[in-house]
Amino acid sequence: MIPAARIAEVADGLEAHLCHVFGAEVVTKEDSALHRTIADGFDVAHMGRDKAAELASLISFDVPALGLPTGAQYLSDFGTTIASTVALPRAWRAPDRAATRLVVLPHEAGHVDHHRRGVDAGWWPNAVGHSVLYLCSVATDDAAEYLGHVEGDQYGTSESVSRWLGAKPRPIADVVDSLRRHYALRPAGAVVAEATLRSHYATIDDGGVPNVRSARVALAWLEANAPDLRGAVLS
């Protein structure tokens, strides 16, 4: 049994490493004026399903299969990345939520990587970012395919970290279903997400690490700095 304080120490170390490698910043969601405004939007959106789906698709956030959140749930239950800033709920700083940070941080750091690569390539301005693609994913197949691919990569990253920590496989169908619901993903995006995940799961099942930068950086750091956690945190 690994003490919670040790898992928290490892989560802090991994967070610092990911911020350094990917140029990310991590903030507390409840302290962010932007995220409090989005939370208010979710409360308003609850009045109408179409508006809610539109809002959910506007931003990148990674959620379990629960349906759309209320504003309070959005702030306290979900990590969200906009441009280079990863926002995490305050409660995830508690030692007993350190395992959640270990699984979610590599996923979100990968989105910062997507954002910065797009800025460097001139695909979108720094101020707007990768997040605008999430809005387009309800409207165009091109954007939905992009989103399906990057989320497939990032859920593959989370899966590889959680399996390293000892978790059983999460069914691919669960992930694809969640993506379709929360990002209002068009069918083309769901097809790409599923195919991407199948490829990453095959690599993981074979004892490898998915060919996704965030997965490789996170697992290399964990192997070097926290071998005591391997297979010993999740079940």
Residues that bind Zn ion (CB under 5 A): 62, 154
Can you tell me the distance from the alpha carbon of 116 to that of 18, in angstroms, rounded to the nearest whole number? Answer: 14
Instruction: Specify burial of residue 201 (Cβ count, 10 A radius: 0-12, 13-18, 19+).
Output: buried
**Shortest distance in whole angstroms from residue 159 CB to Zn ion:** 12
**Shortest distance in whole angstroms from residue 77 CB to Zn ion:** 15
**Shortest distance in whole angstroms from residue 162 CB to Zn ion:** 14
DSSP classification of residue 131: T
Rg (C-alpha) for the chain, rounded Å, is: 17
DSSP classification of residue 123: S
User: Which C-beta is closer to Zn ion: that of 45 or that of 59?
Assistant: 59
User: Which C-beta is closer to Zn ion: that of 153 or that of 209?
Assistant: 153
SS3 118: helix
Can you tell me the distance from the alpha carbon of 172 to that of 194, in angstroms, rounded to the nearest whole number? Answer: 7
User: Which C-beta is closer to Zn ion: that of 14 or that of 226?
Assistant: 14
**Shortest distance in whole angstroms from residue 154 CB to Zn ion:** 4
The vertex-75 CA angle with 31 and 182, nearest 5°, equals 140
User: Which C-beta is closer to Zn ion: that of 138 or that of 229?
Assistant: 138
Nearest to 157 by CA among 101, 211, 78: 211
User: Which C-beta is closer to Zn ion: that of 57 or that of 154?
Assistant: 154
**Shortest distance in whole angstroms from residue 60 CB to Zn ion:** 5
